[in-house]
């Protein structure tokens, strides 16, 4: 199937934008529009150009869309009953993909034989027929008659006496169904930041706010540094106290660092890291944004409910368009569920009724009515507003959300939009398919301390990541400590064995998650220095005893090595503060006149003092001196293609975790003797005394 035919079929049958379809399939949006317009210039109608087997599910989406008004004229009950039969939701509530029956392997495809789909279609048809009969059958006093049963294809359907007050949950597509029950699926092609900007520009609201969602596991690697310029956002306020608020109509921005429960077990521990995280974010934004205010940074956890209530209240009070923007697998869908203001409607309308009103056409001419979905639009139609809608699907699969999911609230006062995730690395390409979902850190891991001595390396995932410290092999006391906050298996071995295991040159007992031919892509990612001074926190017992930290003969440095989309490894190393420098031992020199020409070179002027008589008495006296060094310990990292790693100042998460643990009580007296077996010993003594 050529590109033009695919774009044509997708825009006509699935009613999806050619621009979004081209972006999701790695094509040029301009080429997609050009090919689609060339197809529209033909005389063939959409029904004639499309195959007959693809015209079963989406007849409802071929009608133009017009919001219901007070002057709208509804169709007859019989026409509406025939139109409601066999209707599926416009878009999948789990991934947001528009309903289609062209490609079974893609998002949005529904199988009518699935039990959930069959029950939904029967319930929708029953509601439609029940509503039509109650509208048509009216008694003399104006009270509608109540119907107890309906006939459908010879089958008796028992129902309620009136239309139910609870909405019917629409089913998800086959792709979401397999993700929920089988944990299998194919990720979509991720859109670019330009497609996200075009989607926000098509917002029907004049007031919009963008939430840039970041992941705490690899913060700030999930940041888009040019987000202000790429999305045409309002200019942020500077730190000048005379800086005024921006009254621009452009969208404003807030940063949300989600999954903060990975940083600490309690809320108070995590809140103490906020100043460090703001400083790291300011550095990551670049030199241009060093003087902006960062009071719009939120450290939340959707799993624990930390600080999510405040954001939900601000979304409700602000209204308008609220957009969740970020890379995939940063936690946007799970955050969407806790931020959406549920229960904001006055009553719980029937889903089929709302969907019917959305698809009803006005009595005016079709030429003047607006289309259900414009061919140049990147935004799908909003889902019907219900107090408790179906939330987006949460999955570890990269690219679960296939299309923007728009959920309105507060009688169309505003809407919350979950956008598809941007591209994020691609480390999973070098991992076996059965182990790719294990790269995502779902909960706080059990972290162990690893000691890396000179000549050793740390392996993550059996060779996916190799960290080799550049330690002084002449000094065996230099040891680097590693704390892997990752869901991968960690192992310390000799550097020679680590290189062989990473290149798969020798068999090892360590389970590797590397894909086939991944060892050929291994390359050095660079050398990283440990520059964060953590001497005060690591030498806390000595400092509490009264020793000044500046007078200690050593320093402790640390850093956090980030693995994109996986987690981080905290590295700590203690080095000597002073380096001992010594000179050669004193040697008595001979007179200048008696020197042999074959002897070694004469000492330099810095090392000797020459007498006026031409006699060199002795070399200068040597002494051991201590020179303060500024050499930071370094590590060399090897990854696939030399990418997917970063660095940030150490957050000292390991020390924060251990600081909350109670210290062992100091015994002031000798402990009591254990009384186990005391009775037996007493019996033996009594027997020994009683026996003659």
Report the pLDDT averaged over residues 148-159.
43
- In this prediction, residues 634-655 reach a mean pLDDT of 93
- Out of 148-152, 165-169, 397-401, the most confident range is 397-401
Concatenating the DSSP letter of every residue in 38-106 gives HHHTSS--HHHHS-GGG-SS-GGGGSPP----TT--PPPHHHHHHHHTT---SB-TTT-PBPBSS-TTS
- The partner residues of 327 in beta bridges, in order of sequence, read 422
> Does the pLDDT value for residue 128 go beyond 80?
no
pLDDT of residue 243: 79
SS3 label, residue 323: strand
Give domain 190-238+246-342+389-423's CATH superfamily: P-loop containing nucleotide triphosphate hydrolases (3.40.50.300)
**pLDDT surpasses 90 at 645:** yes
Helix (H, G, I), strand (E, B) or coil at 415: strand
Look at the block and give the residue holding tokens 């007859």.
Answer: 76
Task: Report the pLDDT value the prediction gives residue 581, as an integer from 0 to 100.
Answer: 52
| pLDDT above 60: residue 607 | no
Extract the tokens encoding 312: 């939900």
Question: What is the predicted pLDDT for the residue at 314?
Answer: 93
Q: If 0-12 CB within 10 Å is exposed, 13-18 middle and 19+ buried, where does residue 86 land?
A: middle
Chain center to CA of 625: 52
CB under 8 Å to 563, separation ≥6 — which residues? 218, 427, 460, 465, 486, 569, 644, 645
d(CA 403, CA 94): 10
Q: What is the pLDDT of residues 30-72, one digit of tens each?
A: 444 444 434 433 333 333 333 333 333 333 333 332 333 332 3
**Which two structure tokens, joined as six digits, stand for 607?**
């090392």
- Residue 371's contacts (CB-CB under 8 Å, 6 or more residues apart) are 64, 65
- Beta-sheet pairing, 320-325 with 155-158: unpaired
Burial pattern 8-46, b for ≥16 Cβ within 10 A else e, equals bbbbbbbbbbbbbbbbbeebebeebbebbeebeeeeeee
Note the Cα 415 to chain centre separation in Å.
22
Question: Across the beta sheet with 208-215, what order do the strands follow?
Answer: 297-299, 252-258, 208-215, 320-325, 414-418, 405-409
Q: Which two tokens mark 72?
A: 């709208």
Mean pLDDT of 11-27: 48
Q: Which residue in 351, 442, 441 sits closest to 389, CA to CA?
A: 351
Residue 656 has pLDDT above 50, yes or no: yes
Residue whose structure tokens are 């086959």: 174
Burial letters for 322-339: b for 16+ Cβ neighbours within 10 Å, e otherwise?
bbbbbbbbbbbbbbbebb
C-alpha dihedral over 237, 239, 240, 242, to 10 degrees?
Answer: 50
- Percent of the chain's residues with pLDDT above 70: 67
In the three-class reduction of DSSP (H, G, I as helix; E, B as strand; rest coil), residue 576 is classed as strand
Calculate mean pLDDT across residues 165-179. 81
The answer to whether 552 and 539 have CB atoms below 8 angstroms apart is yes
| pLDDT at residue number 184 | 82
Alpha carbons 133 and 122: distance in angstroms, whole number: 16
Which residue's entry shows tokens 């089913």? 171
Average pLDDT over residues 569-583: 78
Instruction: Strand 522-529: give its sheet, edge to edge.
Output: 490-494, 456-460, 465-469, 634-640, 522-529
**Per-residue DSSP letters for 106-167?**
STTB--TTSHHHHHHHHHHHHHHHHHHHHHH-B-TTSPBPP--EEEETTEEEE--SS--SSP
> 3-13 vs 29-40: helix axis angle to the nearest 10?
70
Element (H, E) at 258: strand 252-258
What's the pLDDT at 20?
Answer: 54
Euclidean distance between CA atoms 597 and 178, whole angstroms: 90
Q: How far apart are CA 499 and CA 511, in angstroms?
A: 15
Using the predicted structure, report yes or no on whether residue 659 has a pLDDT greater than 90.
no
Model confidence band, residue 23 (pLDDT cutoffs 50, 70, 90) = low
Query: Does residue 323 carry a pLDDT above 50?
Result: yes
pLDDT tens-place string over residues 501-560: 888 776 667 788 998 888 889 999 999 999 999 998 888 778 888 888 888 888 999 999
Burial pattern 404-426, b for ≥16 Cβ within 10 A else e, equals: bbbbbbeeeebbbbbbbbbebbe
The residue among 31 and 196 whose pLDDT is bigger is 196
3-state DSSP of 486-551: CCCCEEEEEHHHHHHHHHCCCCCCCCCCECCCCHHHEEEEEEEECCEECHHHHCHHHHHCCCCHHH
DSSP element (H, E) containing 198: helix 193-201
Q: Which two tokens stand for residue 502?
A: 């990473």
Rounded CA separation 486/129 (Å): 55
Q: What is the mean pLDDT of residues 261-276?
A: 92
The DSSP symbol for 428 reads: G
| DSSP secondary structure, 438-476, as one string | GGS--S------EEE-TTEEEEETTTTEEEEE---TT-T
Least confident of 251-265, 481-495, 619-633: 619-633
What's the rounded Cα separation, in Å, for the pair 137 and 511?
A: 71
**Sorting pLDDT into bands at 50, 70 and 90, what band is 400?**
confident
- Token pair of 606 as six digits: 């810095």
Please state, for a pLDDT cut of 90, what percent of the chain lies above it: 34
Question: How many residues are listed for the chain in this entry?
Answer: 692
603 vs 590: CA distance, rounded Å:
12
Per-residue pLDDT reduced to its tens digit, 297-315: 999 999 999 999 999 999 9
Separation CA 450–CA 368 (nearest Å): 71
**Which pLDDT band, with edges at 50, 70 and 90, does 371 fall under?**
very low
Question: pLDDT (tens digit, 9 = 90+) per residue, 337-351?
Answer: 999 998 765 444 444
Tell me which residue of 477, 489, 433, 429 sits closest to 453, measured CA to CA.
477
Q: Which helix (H) or strand (E) holds 680?
A: helix 678-690
Please report how many Cα atoms fall inside a 13 Å half-sphere around the Cα of residue 532, on the Cβ side: 19
Q: In whole angstroms, give the CA distance from residue 657 to residue 273.
A: 12
Taking 60 as the threshold, does the pLDDT of residue 624 lie above it? no
pTM for the model stands at 0.73
Q: Grade residue 159 by pLDDT with cuts at 50, 70 and 90.
A: very low
Task: Specify the 3-state DSSP secondary structure of 15.
Answer: coil
**Residue 688 in this model has a pLDDT that exceeds 80:** yes
∠ CA(105), CA(111), CA(113), 5° rounding? 145
| pLDDT, mean of residues 406-417 | 91
Lowest mean pLDDT of 65-74, 473-482, 584-593, 636-645, name the range.
Answer: 65-74
Mean pLDDT of 345-368: 43
Instruction: Give the pLDDT confidence score for residue 33 in this predicted structure.
Output: 41
User: Which of helix, strand or coil describes residue 633?
Assistant: coil
Mean pLDDT of the chain: 75
Exposure of 244 by Cβ count < 10 A (0-12 exposed, 13-18 middle, 19+ buried)?
exposed
């Amino acid at each position: 199937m050529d590109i033009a035919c695919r774009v044509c079929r997708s825009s006509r049958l699935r009613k999806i934008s050619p621009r979004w379809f081209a972006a999701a399939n790695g094509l040029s949006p301009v080429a997609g529009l050009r090919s689609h317009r060339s197809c529209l210039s033909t005389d063939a109608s959409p029904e004639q150009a499309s195959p007959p087997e693809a015209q079963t599910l989406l007849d409802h989406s071929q009608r133009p869309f017009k919001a219901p008004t007070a002057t709208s004229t509804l169709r007859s009950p019989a026409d509406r009953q025939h139109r409601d039969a066999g209707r599926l939701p416009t878009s999948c509530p789990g991934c947001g993909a528009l309903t289609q029956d062209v490609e079974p392997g893609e998002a949005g495809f529904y199988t009518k034989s699935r039990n959930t789909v069959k029950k939904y279609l029967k319930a929708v048809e029953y509601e439609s027929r029940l509503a039509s009969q109650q509208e048509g059958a009216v008694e003399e006093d104006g009270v509608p008659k109540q119907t107890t049963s309906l006939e459908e294809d010879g089958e008796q359907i028992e129902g309620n006496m009136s239309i139910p007050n609870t909405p019917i949950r629409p089913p998800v597509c086959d792709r979401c169904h397999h993700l929920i029950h089988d944990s299998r699926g194919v990720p979509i092609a991720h859109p670019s930041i330009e497609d996200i900007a075009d989607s926000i520009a098509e917002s029907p609201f004049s007031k919009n706010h963008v939430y840039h969602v970041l992941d705490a596991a690899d913060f700030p690697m999930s940041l888009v540094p040019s987000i202000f310029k790429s999305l045409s956002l309002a200019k942020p306020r500077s730190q000048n106290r005379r800086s005024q608020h921006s009254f621009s109509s452009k969208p404003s921005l807030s940063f949300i660092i989600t999954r903060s429960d990975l940083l600490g077990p309690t809320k108070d521990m995590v809140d103490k890291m906020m100043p460090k995280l703001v400083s790291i974010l300011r550095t990551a934004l670049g030199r241009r944004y060093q003087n902006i205010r960062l009071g719009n940074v939120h450290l939340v956890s959707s799993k624990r409910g930390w600080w999510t209530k405040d954001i939900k209240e601000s979304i409700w009070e602000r209204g308008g368009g609220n957009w969740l923007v970020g890379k995939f697998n940063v936690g946007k869908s799970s955050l969407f569920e806790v931020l959406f203001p549920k229960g904001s409607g006055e009553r719980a309308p029937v889903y089929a009724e709302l969907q019917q009103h959305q698809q009803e056409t006005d009595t005016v001419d079709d030429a003047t009515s607006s289309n259900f979905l414009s061919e140049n639009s990147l935004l799908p139609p909003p889902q019907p507003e219900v107090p408790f809608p179906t939330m987006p699907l949460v999955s570890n699969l990269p690219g679960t959300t296939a299309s923007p999911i728009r959920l309105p609230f507060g009688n169309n006062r505003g809407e919350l939009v979950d956008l598809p995730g941007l591209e994020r690395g691609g480390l999973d390409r070098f991992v076996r398919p059965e182990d790719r979902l294990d790269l995502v850190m779902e909960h706080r891991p059990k972290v162990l301390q690893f000691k890396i001595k000179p000549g050793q390396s740390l392996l993550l995932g059996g060779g996916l990541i190799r960290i080799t410290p550049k330690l002084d092999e002449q000094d065996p006391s230099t040891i680097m400590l590693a704390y892997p906050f990752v869901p991968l298996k960690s192992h310390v071995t000799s550097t020679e064995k680590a290189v062989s295991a990473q290149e798969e040159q020798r068999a090892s007992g360590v389970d590797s998650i590397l894909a086939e031919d991944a060892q050929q892509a291994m390359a050095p990612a660079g050398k990283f220095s440990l520059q964060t001074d953590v001497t005060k926190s690591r030498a806390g017992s000595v400092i509490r005893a009264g020793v000044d930290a500046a007078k200690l003969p050593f320093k402790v440095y640390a850093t956090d090595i980030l693995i994109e989309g996986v987690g981080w490894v905290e590295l700590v190393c203690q080095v000597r503060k002073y380096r001992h420098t010594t000179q050669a031992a004193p040697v008595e020199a001979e007179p200048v006149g008696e020197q042999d020409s074959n002897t070694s070179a004469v000492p330099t002027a810095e090392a000797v003092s020459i007498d006026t008589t031409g006699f060199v008495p002795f070399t200068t006296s040597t002494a051991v001196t201590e020179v303060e060094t500024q050499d930071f310990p370094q590590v060399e990292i090897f990854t696939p293609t030399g990418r997917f790693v970063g660095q940030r100042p150490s957050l000292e998460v390991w020390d924060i975790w251990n600081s909350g643990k109670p210290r062992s009580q100091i015994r002031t007296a000798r402990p009591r003797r254990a009384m186990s077996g005391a009775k037996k010993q007493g019996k033996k003594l009594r027997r020994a005394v009683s026996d003659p």
